[in-house]
Amino acid sequence: MENKMGYNASFAEEVFRNVDSGDEIKMCMNCGVCAASCPLREHMDYPPRQIFSLIRAGKREEVLGSQSIMLCTSCYTCVVKCPRSIPVMDVMHGLAHYALKKGYTPRIEAARFGKEFWNQVYRRGRVDERDLAQRAYFAGGFWEGVKKILEFADVGIKLVLHRRMKLIPEKKIKGISTLRKMLDKAEMLDKGRSVQ
């Protein structure tokens, strides 16, 4: 399956074809600058550089099941530093999105939080921070939710007292139905659509 560029054609091709910004890694020269940039690199099983080599080596399970692809803080350090101008962050986000769509669950809490965030944009056009926190807490089940609510009650109460939490639920934007049509269309046209 190896082609002349040293890629395992099947998985590398899958990434190029289906993952947002996936084809950008073709230019990677494996220098490791991006890996040194990551704020949470110590907690990553495979830093970005290694993720890209694993893609070339055809290690599908390792890549899509890795913790690292969900541990990107979106700090753009790698994007600024990569000598080949590869938008490393976009590739990481693309891989995370693809892995979640394929049923992998790396870093479940971060995944739930991000999914619920987008749900709010889609349902209402705006994010309601209080509602977002509650839904993210309860996504793991009722008791886990109760535990989290109690654990973070101090923060919530302080924010309310300092007028930094909305008590009235956020309303939908007026154009919500057309916003959804636009977003639905975008998902239809997006790169990984064939594997929805």
**Residues 17-46 interacting with ligand SF4 (rule: CB under 6 A):** 28-34, 37-39
Q: Which is nearer to other proteins, 58 or 94 (CB)?
A: 94
* Interface mask toward ligand SF4 for 58-77; x: CB under 6 A: --------------xxxxxx
The least distance separating ligand SF4 from the CB of residue 55, rounded to whole angstroms, comes to 11
CB 143 within 8 A of CB 136: no
88's contact among ligand SF4, other proteins, none, with CB below 5 to 8 A by partner kind, is ligand SF4
1 binds other proteins (CB under 8 A): no
Distance separating alpha carbons of residues 136 and 160, to the nearest angstrom: 19
Distance separating alpha carbons of residues 57 and 59, to the nearest angstrom: 6
Q: Which is nearer to other proteins, 51 or 70 (CB)?
A: 70
Distance separating alpha carbons of residues 96 and 72, to the nearest angstrom: 9
Distance separating alpha carbons of residues 67 and 48, to the nearest angstrom: 11
All residues at 6 or more sequence positions from 81 whose CB lies less than 8 Å from its CB, including other chains: 33, 34, 37
88 binds ligand SF4 (CB under 6 A): yes
Q: Which of positions 101-140 make contact with other proteins (CB under 8 A)? A: 107, 109-122, 125-130, 133, 136
179 binds ligand SF4 (CB under 6 A): no
Distance separating alpha carbons of residues 143 and 137, to the nearest angstrom: 10
